[in-house]
Amino acid sequence: MANWRPKPEEIVSKLRQVEVLMGQGMSRLDAIRQI
């Protein structure tokens, strides 16, 4: 399992989650850490 890579859909989903949290006033680093 050393070569596991996230699918593009998973990456986009996580980026959208970060954008939502940032829109709620959370800092970028805190949003990334939470996800």
| 4-22 residue pLDDT tens | 898 999 999 999 999 999 9
CA–chain centroid gap for 33, Å, is: 8
Largest distance between two CA atoms of the chain: 36
Cβ–Cβ under 8 Å, residues 31 and 21: yes
pLDDT (0 to 100) of residue 3: 82
Which amino acid is located at 18 in the chain? V
Confidence at 2, pLDDT banded by 50, 70, 90: low
Provide the residue range defining the domain that includes 11.
Answer: 1-34
Total domain count for the chain?
1
CA gap 21, 19 in Å, rounded: 5
The residue to which tokens 């959208």 are assigned: 16
CA gap 29, 4 in Å, rounded: 24
Q: Does the pLDDT of residue 33 top 60, yes or no?
A: yes
